[in-house]
Amino acid sequence: MSMNLLKAGYPVTVWNRTPARAEELVAAGAGLAKSPQELAAASDFLLSIVSDPPALEEVLWGPHGAMQALKRGSIYVDSSTISPALARKIAAACAERGVRFLDAPVTGGDWGAKKGELIFMAGGDAATLKEAEPVLGVMGKKWFHLGAHGAGQTIKLAMNLILALQVDALAEALALVTGAGLPGEKLVEVLQSSMARSGVLDVKAPNLLKGEYVPSFPLRLMHKDLGLALDLANQLGVPLPATAAARETYSYVKGAAREDLDYSAVMKFWKR
Protein backbone atom coordinates (compact mmCIF):
# COMPACT_ATOMS: atom_id res chain seq x y z
CA MET A 1 0.00 0.00 0.00
CA SER A 2 2.81 2.37 0.91
CA MET A 3 4.75 1.44 -2.19
CA ASN A 4 1.82 2.48 -4.36
CA LEU A 5 1.67 5.82 -2.55
CA LEU A 6 5.38 6.31 -3.15
CA LYS A 7 5.00 5.42 -6.81
CA ALA A 8 2.16 7.91 -7.07
CA GLY A 9 4.50 10.60 -5.82
CA TYR A 10 3.22 11.03 -2.29
CA PRO A 11 5.81 11.74 0.41
CA VAL A 12 5.54 8.74 2.73
CA THR A 13 6.95 8.02 6.18
CA VAL A 14 6.55 4.56 7.68
CA TRP A 15 6.89 2.63 10.89
CA ASN A 16 6.70 -1.13 11.43
CA ARG A 17 6.96 -3.15 14.62
CA THR A 18 9.33 -5.41 12.70
CA PRO A 19 11.85 -2.92 11.27
CA ALA A 20 13.00 -5.23 8.47
CA ARG A 21 9.56 -4.98 6.92
CA ALA A 22 10.07 -1.28 6.34
CA GLU A 23 13.41 -1.65 4.56
CA GLU A 24 12.07 -2.07 1.04
CA LEU A 25 10.01 1.09 1.46
CA VAL A 26 12.89 3.10 2.87
CA ALA A 27 15.04 1.96 -0.03
CA ALA A 28 12.30 3.24 -2.33
CA GLY A 29 12.36 6.65 -0.73
CA ALA A 30 10.10 6.47 2.31
CA GLY A 31 11.06 8.16 5.54
CA LEU A 32 11.35 6.00 8.64
CA ALA A 33 9.76 7.04 11.93
CA LYS A 34 11.12 5.77 15.25
CA SER A 35 7.68 5.17 16.75
CA PRO A 36 3.98 5.50 16.02
CA GLN A 37 4.11 8.68 18.10
CA GLU A 38 6.79 10.23 15.92
CA LEU A 39 4.94 9.17 12.80
CA ALA A 40 1.62 10.64 13.98
CA ALA A 41 3.29 13.89 14.98
CA ALA A 42 4.64 14.30 11.46
CA SER A 43 1.58 13.25 9.43
CA ASP A 44 -1.36 15.02 7.84
CA PHE A 45 -2.77 11.70 6.76
CA LEU A 46 -2.07 8.65 8.93
CA LEU A 47 -2.96 5.11 7.92
CA SER A 48 -2.56 2.03 10.13
CA ILE A 49 -2.99 -1.63 9.34
CA VAL A 50 -2.15 -4.29 11.94
CA SER A 51 -3.28 -7.83 12.59
CA ASP A 52 -5.67 -7.57 15.52
CA PRO A 53 -7.28 -5.31 18.15
CA PRO A 54 -4.54 -5.69 20.81
CA ALA A 55 -1.87 -4.79 18.22
CA LEU A 56 -3.82 -1.67 17.31
CA GLU A 57 -4.35 -0.66 20.93
CA GLU A 58 -0.61 -0.99 21.45
CA VAL A 59 0.14 1.19 18.42
CA LEU A 60 -2.33 3.86 19.53
CA TRP A 61 -2.12 3.85 23.30
CA GLY A 62 1.03 1.89 24.17
CA PRO A 63 4.41 3.51 24.94
CA HIS A 64 5.22 6.02 22.18
CA GLY A 65 1.73 5.39 20.80
CA ALA A 66 0.23 7.44 18.00
CA MET A 67 -2.93 8.77 19.60
CA GLN A 68 -1.28 11.36 21.86
CA ALA A 69 0.55 12.84 18.87
CA LEU A 70 -2.12 12.93 16.17
CA LYS A 71 -2.32 16.44 14.71
CA ARG A 72 -5.47 18.53 15.00
CA GLY A 73 -7.08 18.64 11.57
CA SER A 74 -5.35 15.54 10.29
CA ILE A 75 -7.07 12.48 8.88
CA TYR A 76 -6.50 9.07 10.43
CA VAL A 77 -7.60 5.93 8.59
CA ASP A 78 -7.35 2.50 10.17
CA SER A 79 -7.52 -0.41 7.76
CA SER A 80 -7.06 -3.20 10.29
CA THR A 81 -9.94 -5.59 10.93
CA ILE A 82 -11.05 -4.91 14.50
CA SER A 83 -14.29 -4.76 16.46
CA PRO A 84 -16.79 -1.99 15.66
CA ALA A 85 -16.62 -1.09 19.36
CA LEU A 86 -12.89 -0.41 19.15
CA ALA A 87 -13.42 1.59 15.97
CA ARG A 88 -15.93 3.76 17.83
CA LYS A 89 -13.56 4.12 20.79
CA ILE A 90 -10.82 5.34 18.44
CA ALA A 91 -13.27 7.68 16.73
CA ALA A 92 -14.20 9.20 20.07
CA ALA A 93 -10.56 9.66 21.07
CA CYS A 94 -9.83 11.26 17.69
CA ALA A 95 -12.83 13.56 17.97
CA GLU A 96 -11.49 14.85 21.28
CA ARG A 97 -8.25 15.82 19.56
CA GLY A 98 -9.89 17.31 16.49
CA VAL A 99 -8.75 14.43 14.29
CA ARG A 100 -11.01 13.05 11.58
CA PHE A 101 -11.16 9.25 11.73
CA LEU A 102 -12.34 6.58 9.33
CA ASP A 103 -12.57 2.86 10.04
CA ALA A 104 -11.78 1.48 6.61
CA PRO A 105 -10.83 -2.19 6.58
CA VAL A 106 -9.88 -3.62 3.23
CA THR A 107 -10.45 -6.69 1.16
CA GLY A 108 -8.45 -7.94 -1.79
CA GLY A 109 -5.54 -9.70 -0.14
CA ASP A 110 -1.83 -9.36 -0.88
CA TRP A 111 -2.57 -9.39 -4.55
CA GLY A 112 -5.01 -6.48 -4.33
CA ALA A 113 -2.62 -4.52 -2.13
CA LYS A 114 0.21 -4.87 -4.63
CA LYS A 115 -1.91 -4.05 -7.64
CA GLY A 116 -3.57 -1.11 -5.91
CA GLU A 117 -6.91 -2.83 -6.30
CA LEU A 118 -8.07 -3.03 -2.71
CA ILE A 119 -11.63 -2.31 -1.69
CA PHE A 120 -12.13 -0.03 1.31
CA MET A 121 -15.19 -0.45 3.56
CA ALA A 122 -15.49 2.85 5.35
CA GLY A 123 -17.34 3.97 8.43
CA GLY A 124 -17.34 7.59 9.58
CA ASP A 125 -18.07 10.99 8.16
CA ALA A 126 -18.86 11.10 4.42
CA ALA A 127 -16.98 14.38 4.03
CA THR A 128 -13.86 12.85 5.53
CA LEU A 129 -14.10 9.94 3.12
CA LYS A 130 -14.50 12.41 0.26
CA GLU A 131 -11.30 14.14 1.33
CA ALA A 132 -9.46 10.82 1.72
CA GLU A 133 -10.50 9.55 -1.70
CA PRO A 134 -7.43 10.67 -3.68
CA VAL A 135 -5.17 8.78 -1.27
CA LEU A 136 -7.40 5.71 -1.04
CA GLY A 137 -7.68 5.71 -4.82
CA VAL A 138 -3.94 5.11 -5.11
CA MET A 139 -4.19 1.97 -3.01
CA GLY A 140 -7.59 0.70 -4.01
CA LYS A 141 -10.05 0.59 -6.83
CA LYS A 142 -13.24 1.05 -4.83
CA TRP A 143 -14.43 2.50 -1.55
CA PHE A 144 -17.82 2.29 0.05
CA HIS A 145 -19.28 4.65 2.61
CA LEU A 146 -21.23 2.27 4.80
CA GLY A 147 -22.42 4.40 7.70
CA ALA A 148 -21.18 5.87 10.95
CA HIS A 149 -17.97 4.81 12.72
CA GLY A 150 -17.86 1.04 13.12
CA ALA A 151 -19.94 0.41 9.99
CA GLY A 152 -16.86 -0.43 7.93
CA GLN A 153 -15.82 -3.03 10.49
CA THR A 154 -19.31 -4.50 10.74
CA ILE A 155 -19.53 -5.03 6.99
CA LYS A 156 -16.00 -6.43 6.87
CA LEU A 157 -16.76 -8.95 9.62
CA ALA A 158 -19.95 -9.98 7.82
CA MET A 159 -18.01 -10.45 4.59
CA ASN A 160 -15.33 -12.58 6.24
CA LEU A 161 -18.00 -14.68 7.95
CA ILE A 162 -19.32 -15.47 4.47
CA LEU A 163 -15.88 -16.27 3.07
CA ALA A 164 -15.07 -18.52 6.02
CA LEU A 165 -18.36 -20.38 5.66
CA GLN A 166 -18.04 -20.72 1.89
CA VAL A 167 -14.61 -22.30 2.24
CA ASP A 168 -15.80 -24.48 5.11
CA ALA A 169 -18.85 -25.57 3.08
CA LEU A 170 -16.59 -26.54 0.20
CA ALA A 171 -14.37 -28.46 2.62
CA GLU A 172 -17.36 -30.31 4.13
CA ALA A 173 -18.63 -31.18 0.65
CA LEU A 174 -15.21 -32.43 -0.43
CA ALA A 175 -14.87 -34.45 2.77
CA LEU A 176 -18.22 -36.08 2.02
CA VAL A 177 -17.41 -36.81 -1.60
CA THR A 178 -13.94 -38.18 -0.95
CA GLY A 179 -15.22 -40.07 2.12
CA ALA A 180 -17.64 -41.77 -0.28
CA GLY A 181 -14.72 -42.78 -2.48
CA LEU A 182 -15.17 -40.25 -5.29
CA PRO A 183 -12.52 -37.81 -6.53
CA GLY A 184 -13.06 -34.26 -5.27
CA GLU A 185 -12.18 -32.94 -8.73
CA LYS A 186 -15.50 -34.31 -10.01
CA LEU A 187 -17.42 -32.20 -7.50
CA VAL A 188 -15.50 -29.06 -8.36
CA GLU A 189 -16.05 -29.63 -12.07
CA VAL A 190 -19.83 -29.93 -11.62
CA LEU A 191 -19.98 -26.94 -9.26
CA GLN A 192 -18.33 -24.75 -11.88
CA SER A 193 -21.36 -25.32 -14.13
CA SER A 194 -23.93 -24.67 -11.43
CA MET A 195 -25.44 -21.98 -9.24
CA ALA A 196 -22.92 -23.05 -6.59
CA ARG A 197 -20.13 -21.35 -8.54
CA SER A 198 -18.35 -18.62 -6.59
CA GLY A 199 -15.21 -16.58 -6.22
CA VAL A 200 -14.17 -18.91 -3.43
CA LEU A 201 -14.57 -21.93 -5.70
CA ASP A 202 -12.30 -20.36 -8.30
CA VAL A 203 -9.61 -19.26 -5.88
CA LYS A 204 -9.64 -21.84 -3.07
CA ALA A 205 -10.82 -25.14 -4.60
CA PRO A 206 -7.36 -25.83 -6.11
CA ASN A 207 -5.79 -25.48 -2.63
CA LEU A 208 -8.28 -27.90 -1.12
CA LEU A 209 -7.85 -30.45 -3.88
CA LYS A 210 -4.07 -30.32 -3.74
CA GLY A 211 -3.83 -30.04 0.05
CA GLU A 212 -1.55 -27.02 -0.35
CA TYR A 213 -2.32 -24.08 1.85
CA VAL A 214 0.31 -21.43 1.23
CA PRO A 215 -1.05 -18.42 3.12
CA SER A 216 -2.84 -15.84 1.07
CA PHE A 217 -5.11 -14.88 3.95
CA PRO A 218 -3.79 -16.65 7.07
CA LEU A 219 -6.06 -19.03 8.96
CA ARG A 220 -5.15 -17.39 12.28
CA LEU A 221 -6.51 -14.07 11.01
CA MET A 222 -9.68 -15.62 9.62
CA HIS A 223 -10.15 -17.40 12.94
CA LYS A 224 -9.71 -14.07 14.73
CA ASP A 225 -12.25 -12.40 12.43
CA LEU A 226 -14.79 -15.15 13.09
CA GLY A 227 -14.27 -14.50 16.79
CA LEU A 228 -14.88 -10.78 16.28
CA ALA A 229 -18.02 -11.49 14.24
CA LEU A 230 -19.35 -13.84 16.92
CA ASP A 231 -18.50 -11.39 19.69
CA LEU A 232 -20.45 -8.69 17.91
CA ALA A 233 -23.38 -11.00 17.20
CA ASN A 234 -23.52 -12.21 20.78
CA GLN A 235 -23.46 -8.68 22.10
CA LEU A 236 -26.39 -7.91 19.82
CA GLY A 237 -28.22 -11.15 20.67
CA VAL A 238 -28.10 -12.33 17.06
CA PRO A 239 -27.52 -16.11 16.91
CA LEU A 240 -25.11 -17.35 14.20
CA PRO A 241 -25.22 -21.16 14.45
CA ALA A 242 -23.31 -22.07 11.30
CA THR A 243 -20.65 -19.42 11.90
CA ALA A 244 -20.22 -20.71 15.44
CA ALA A 245 -19.84 -24.28 14.17
CA ALA A 246 -17.33 -23.24 11.53
CA ARG A 247 -15.30 -21.23 14.02
CA GLU A 248 -14.73 -24.38 16.09
CA THR A 249 -13.57 -26.25 13.00
CA TYR A 250 -11.08 -23.48 12.21
CA SER A 251 -10.05 -23.57 15.87
CA TYR A 252 -9.30 -27.29 15.63
CA VAL A 253 -6.98 -26.72 12.68
CA LYS A 254 -5.35 -23.70 14.29
CA GLY A 255 -4.70 -25.79 17.42
CA ALA A 256 -3.18 -28.66 15.46
CA ALA A 257 -1.15 -26.67 12.92
CA ARG A 258 2.56 -26.10 13.38
CA GLU A 259 2.97 -23.59 10.57
CA ASP A 260 1.30 -20.55 9.13
CA LEU A 261 -1.42 -21.70 6.76
CA ASP A 262 -4.02 -20.19 4.50
CA TYR A 263 -7.54 -20.33 5.87
CA SER A 264 -8.41 -22.90 3.21
CA ALA A 265 -6.43 -25.27 5.45
CA VAL A 266 -9.69 -25.75 7.34
CA MET A 267 -9.75 -28.83 5.08
CA LYS A 268 -7.16 -30.39 7.40
CA PHE A 269 -9.93 -30.99 9.94
CA TRP A 270 -10.88 -34.00 7.80
CA LYS A 271 -7.33 -35.16 7.04
CA ARG A 272 -6.29 -36.71 10.29
Yes or no: say if 113 and 139 are a contact pair by the CB < 8 Å rule.
yes
> Least Å distance between CB 16 and its own copies?
25
Put residue 177 in one of left, alpha, beta given phi > 0 → left and psi -120 to 50 → alpha.
alpha
3 state SS of 71? coil
Considering only CA atoms, which of 87, 112, 101, 107 is closest in space to residue 164? 107
End-to-end CA, the chain: 39
16/251 with CB nearer its own copies: 251
> Least Å distance between CB 193 and its own copies?
6
Q: Which DSSP category does 218 fall into?
A: B
Instruction: Please report how many Cα atoms fall inside a 13 Å half-sphere around the Cα of residue 223, on the Cβ side.
Output: 19
- 156 is annotated as an active-site residue: yes
100/145 with CB nearer its own copies: 145
> Least Å distance between CB 231 and its own copies?
7
36/84 with CB nearer its own copies: 84
Instruction: Please report how many Cα atoms fall inside a 13 Å half-sphere around the Cα of residue 23, on the Cβ side.
Output: 4
29/192 with CB nearer its own copies: 192
Sequence-distant contacts of 250-255: CB under 8 A, at least 24 apart: 250/164, 250/168, 250/219, 250/222, 250/223, 250/226, 251/223, 253/219, 254/219, 254/220, 254/223
Considering only CA atoms, which of 149, 270, 171 is closest in space to residue 222? 171
Catalytic-labelled residue, pool 71, 89, 114, 156: 156
Dihedral Cα 175, 179, 181, 185, nearest 10 deg:
0
> Least Å distance between CB 34 and its own copies?
28
Yes or no: say if 75 and 45 are a contact pair by the CB < 8 Å rule.
yes
> Least Å distance between CB 244 and its own copies?
4
> Least Å distance between CB 103 and its own copies?
13
69/151 with CB nearer its own copies: 151
Distance CA 10, CA 6 (A): 5
63/237 with CB nearer its own copies: 237
Catalytic site positions: 156
